[in-house]
Structure 1
Amino acid sequence: MAQSDSRGRELYNRLRKILKDPGIIPPGELIQVLNAALYSVSSPAPGIRPLDERGVPGGLVELPQAEYRIIVPDLHGRMDFLLKVLRHRPPGDYPARGPVLSDVLAGRAQIICVGDAFHSESRGRQRWQQAMEEFIDGFKRHGAMDQEMRENLGLLAMICILQDAAPAGFFFLKGNHENIANEEGEGNHPFRKFVYEGDMVKRWVQQFMGEEIFRMIYEWEKALPLMTRAEDFLVTHAEPARVLSEDDVINAYLRPGVIHSLTWVDNGQAEEYSAEGTLSNFLGSRDGGRIFGGHRPVSGRYDLRQQGRYVQINTPNRHVIAYVDDMKNFLPEQNIYEIQD
């Protein structure tokens, strides 16, 4: 335990330095952490990522046994939120319970992030408007866009470091914002909400970070899983659009419709009972199974959809997580809470 605590402090301080640095992470450092993360997600420990028909890790993660799991909703550049999760001490009566990061490194806990690393969305709305003017002018000035990308790339670096440090304990799923090329196809759509966020990020990365980093981020996105399975729950980015099978998810990168089904579905667009059917395919007839996800914001701490089988957590202005140690005793009102420390 002492070793994981010491390693956890060292790792946390490394991540905190990225948050506190007012500048954009240097390209050389970003290349280094992306390389390490690409290796980690492309060659996970045996039994964690079943291989797809190409013989590479597929879209499903089989979570190892753990005392508890933390499910983190859409991050959208919020480096401070991720750090708060890592230093959080969750509830429970385990004598050894320490900061989440130490428990992850010791194999006692896992963190599952539902995706969406980039784009600050509503909290950065005014900054996006300023960045749009810079974009129209060919980024001759780019102060507002630099601020946005400092958060996006800083969070990306943190995620990559954690994927490398804890390949069996930290998992980041692909969301609809994992689309650095702003492509149409492969389960993706070009992204715009307040301005032309997708194209603006693509152009900025190519212009100021270079084609090598652009390519590496693209490859990293294509290596991310789309679902995690525990004993009695699943985690995805979005509410499944239809009933999915193990074969569908494992081979998702060969079936773009599956990627779209797990990343782009709006509230009310999913087929009726898609969550229940998917749970049956993945967990059998177990009672109490649920799917956790994010994607669309909720007004409170959570929303229950699909007869309560899909639990949606995504509060853009609050640091809300789901804590799961035993689904038999899982109570949304109690187990989904805002981190205060």
Structure 2
Amino acid sequence: MTQIRTILRSYLDSPELPSHEGLLSLLESGISSLEGENNSYRPHDSEGKAGGLLDFTDEKSSALPLIIVPDLHGRGKFLIDILDFEFQGKTVLELLQNSEILICCVGDIFHSENRGRERWKEAYLEYIGGNYVNEPMKAEMLENLSLLQMILTLKSAFASHFHILKGNHENVLNEDKRAQFGNVPFRKFCDEGNMVSRFLQHFYDDLILHEISYFEKALPVCAAFKNCVVSHAEPAAFFTRKQIINYHETGSFVTFALTWTANDAAREGTVEHLFNELLSENNRKNAFYFAGHRPVLEKYALRQNGMFIQIHNPEIEQIAFVLPDTKFNPENNIIEVEK
């Protein structure tokens, strides 16, 4: 436990960007973990590949506590604080090492967003002048890549118990492939999507850029547990279990509908529909649907008759702690972990 925490902390504390060799090795390991996930909890698609759904509704998994992590956006310290959080006399990392907990992150590894607004503006002035690897951009990418290294390390070490879903920011190529991969070019304060892509291409090379993209596209998009379902965003439309598993089929729009939904843009009843698709009749009664994507002002926001809980407050290091055989209470079970 001490060794892996030391490794994770070294990524966070490093003043230098990761080496090409080191980052490539971690990416290959993380991709291998995603592609090799067991069919028992990640059903294979029609081509025999790891599908878009994580299914932990079996009896053994249902007995484990679950941590749901909102959008990370380069916040490596947030991830460390989660692993250091204590529950029943053990840290989350100790529970993870003993296979006594499940962790599901809703996605969005890159882009500091509002937290780095001024840095983005400075980096953009350099970028439009043709300087793609400028100092403000290096500072931004140091946060993003250190977090990516942590996630790849945890996924490789605890493949069946540590999970991250694809978010709308998982589009390192900044491509427009909405129908197949849910990808839409990203920009908010400046031209963040292209800036990250150009930085990686120039500081590293096309291989690193495309390996990150490969990792992103191998991520699942939805997770079902005994008494809850999780995706990056509120489900925009009705989908079947089979459609989610076969999320890479061209024209399905499943990934886009689970990663890009604006507040109040979802079709009414999508949460209840997915409960019917993914949960047993008995477990639907006290179930909740969790997502992040758009920021909330307080601890959480409710929609869809109170069944949908949005938990992404970028100003707070908070998690949703879902305990087995206990009805989730957002007032008590959304917990701050910051030290």
TM-score by length of 2: 0.94
Q: Is the 1:66–1:110 Cα contact (8 Å) retained in structure 2?
A: no
SS at match of 1:229: strand
Counterpart of 1:269?
Answer: 265
Q: Which of 147, 150, 161 is the aligned partner of 2:153?
A: 161
Matched to 1:271, the amino acid is R
Query: Which position in structure 2 is the counterpart of 1:251?
Result: 246
Aligned to 2:141: 149
Structure 1 counterpart SS, 2:144? helix
Q: Which moved more, 1:128-137 or 1:61-70?
A: 61-70
Q: Which moved more, 1:119-128 or 1:54-63?
A: 54-63
Q: Given the alignment of the two structures, is residue 282 of structure 1 paired with residue 278 of structure 2, yes or no?
A: yes
Looking at structure 2, the residues matched to 245 and 177 of structure 1 have their Cα atoms a distance apart, in angstroms, of: 24
Matched ranges for 1:167-206 at <5 A:
167-185=159-177, 186=180, 187-206=182-201
1:191-233 Cα shifts (integer Å, max 9, x gaps): 0000000000011111111111011001101100001111121
RMSD (Å), alpha carbons = 1.3
- Identical amino acids, percent of aligned pairs: 40
Aligned length: 329
- Structure 1 pair 146–163 and aligned structure 2 pair: CA distance change class (3 A): same
Mean alpha-carbon deviation: is it higher for 326-335 or for 156-165? Answer: 326-335
Letter of the 2:152 partner, please give it.
C
Partner residue of 1:229 out of 224, 235, 257: 224
1:239 aligns with 2:237: no
Residues 132 and 195 in structure 2, CA contact (< 8 A), matched pair in contact too:
no
Q: Please give the alpha-carbon distance, in whole angstroms, between the structure 2 residues aligned to 1:165 and 1:42.
A: 14
Q: 1:85 aligns with which of 82, 96, 100?
A: 82
Question: Residue 48 of structure 1 aligns to which amino acid in structure 2?
Answer: Y
Q: Distance in 2 between matches of 1:139 and 1:66?
A: 52
- 3-state SS, counterpart of residue 170 of structure 2: coil
Question: After superposition, where does 1:57-76 map in structure 2 within 5 Å?
Answer: 57-63=50-56, 64-76=61-73
Structure 2: any 5+ residue segments left out of the alignment? Answer: none
1:216 is aligned to: 211
Match for residue 48 of structure 1 among 37, 41, 45:
41
Measured against aligned partners, the alpha-carbon deviations of 1:46-86 in whole angstroms (never above 9, x if no partner) come to 41210101210000012234421110000000000001001
What SS does structure 1 have at the residue aligned with 2:54? Answer: strand
Q: What is the CA distance between 1:154 and its match in structure 2?
A: 0.9
Offset of residue 326 of structure 1: 2.9
- After the TM superposition, list the runs of 4 or more consecutive aligned residues in structure 1 that deviate by more than 6 angstroms: none
Q: What one-letter code is carried by the residue in structure 2 that aligns with 1:260?
A: F
The one of 92, 109, 129 aligned to 2:101: 109
Alignment partner of 1:130 out of 101, 122, 128: 122
Cα distance 1:239–1:11, how it changes in 2: closer, same or farther (>3 A)?
same
